[in-house]
Structure 1
């Protein structure tokens, strides 16, 4: 693995800006033309409320609600696009759909709106995926996410704030974790350099490792050459001058 995997592109900036711009345009339409988009949110366990799985992330109750979701989305979508470019669109799309569907199943009988479910998907995915890769830059990213947004974890529990959709937050967190386990990232795995790094390595068959006991102490075991010593059959040598036979037993060293 080398750092060439991380390449900046215009989409690192364009994607989060475009997504957040859509949220603000929808909110502008809502207040400018007095549209009631709340009915398009998730209403759990009803057929009409299932449409909110797709539409709810783009609907916000007020300007404060929209602002509080916009800043994290700008940061997290940019980080996702830069560090996980191949997984970006699938994480966003499946994150919205799956977290919305789970909210529809477990939510209270009320309209659930806002992009906070997606924010929890992104926080969860970036944190857990970075830890799983064990690559120092992605682990550092995971820790940075925890420093910035670690306090959000409290809002996945009920009774913390009844005015928010903790069900949407919990759904997003669970879906983000599931996606981090689903997507394999072989490009971030360390290259195998030594024999002992291979998954099928057998220390008992390795000449060097056999020199140590189970506690790691040098055991001074017989060398492989000593194990392979073979005793040859007696050979007869003739000395013609004296007409005498000598039997000599030799060992191959």
Structure 2
């Protein structure tokens, strides 16, 4: 038996654009709120969490740090710098559905951590900027992968507005910036766009 997604002839709230927008803000807002709660606790503990759960490149026990390092930040200003891009890019990705968002977030998280672990410097790496780059990269390339003109238009607008952050993927003399995390996150975002690409269908088959 098929379930109808409408009630009394009207689409359910979660299936409308407004419903998806509200759900998107709730999910992204909850994630950002979690980052601030962790930052508050980390501050009370004199940032000892960074030394314990920050990512240590090429360290065997540092492999597990891949799961935790984006949740920590060097200071409140560091978290502030990631907050707005996370909200904007995360919300735009979530408009395509939670599966798309969590897949992109997971691949960006994993790829960012792996690249830092493999080629990162000697310092401990923390911060959610790899996730920012992953979500941004997904939004930039998915329209071209899907051949969707509306998504391509959005990618152009985003590139003109935020494209300057892509320089953060290049090696820099500023040792406190992890370009490896940015590069890895972007790789994860592109992989997500390819994995979640919408297949182009030809002549539809009739069911029997």
TM norm. shorter chain > 0.5? yes
Cα displacement (A) at 1:134: 2.3
- Report matched runs for 1:144-159 at 5 Å: 144-159=157-172
CA distance in 2, matches of 1:153, 1:123: 9
Matches for 1:185-204 after TM superposition, within 5 Å? 185-186=198-199, 189=200
Q: Answer yes or no: is 1:38 the counterpart of 2:50.
A: yes
Higher RCO, 1 or 2 (CA under 8 Å, sep at least 6)?
A: 2
Q: Which deviations, in whole Å up to 9, do the C-alpha atoms of 1:41-97 show, x marking residues without a partner?
A: 111110122222111111001111000001100001100000354311111122212
CA distance in 1 between counterparts of 2:186 and 2:47 reads 31
Q: CA RMSD in A?
A: 2.2
1:108-119 residue pairs with structure 2 within 5 A? 108-119=121-132
* Runs of 5+ consecutive residues of structure 2 not aligned to the other structure: 1-10
Aligned to 1:126: 139
From 181, 185, 193, the counterpart of 1:180 = 193
Q: Report the counterpart of residue 7 of structure 1 in structure 2.
A: 17
Greater displacement, 131-140 / 116-125: 131-140
CA positional deviation for 1:190: 7.6
**8 Å CA contact retained: 1:102, 1:171:** yes
Kindly report which structure 2 residues correspond to 1:1-253, keeping only aligned pairs within 5 A, or say none: 7-8=17-18, 9=20, 10-39=22-51, 40-186=53-199, 189=200
Cross-structure match for 2:7: none
Contact 1:58 1:115 in 2 (8 A): yes
Bigger Cα Rg:
1
**8 Å Cα contact 2:108-2:186 kept in structure 1:** no
Corresponding residue of 1:244: none
Q: CA deviation at 1:143?
A: 1.3
Query: When the two structures are superposed, what TM-score results if normalisation uses the length of structure 1?
Result: 0.68
Q: Structure 2 vs 1, CA of residues 71 and 159 (structure 1 numbering), >3 Å: closer, same or farther?
A: same
Q: Report the count of equivalent residues.
A: 188
* Counterpart Cα distance in 1 of 2:49 and 2:173: 26
State how far apart, in whole Å, the 2-side matches of 1:190 and 1:136 are. 17
Deviation at 1:146, TM superposition (A): 0.8
Question: TM-score normalized by structure 2?
Answer: 0.82
Q: What is the rounded CA distance, in whole Å, between the counterparts of 1:34 and 1:45 in structure 2?
A: 25
* Runs of 4+ in structure 1 over 2 Å off: 4-10, 32-35, 83-86, 159-162, 189-193
* CA shift for structure 1 position 24: 0.3
Shift in alpha-carbon separation, 1:127–1:6, aligned structure 2, 3 A: farther
- Please list every run of 5 or more consecutive structure 1 residues that lacks an aligned counterpart in the other structure: 194-253
Say if 1:6 and 1:83, in contact at 8 Å, map to a contact too: no
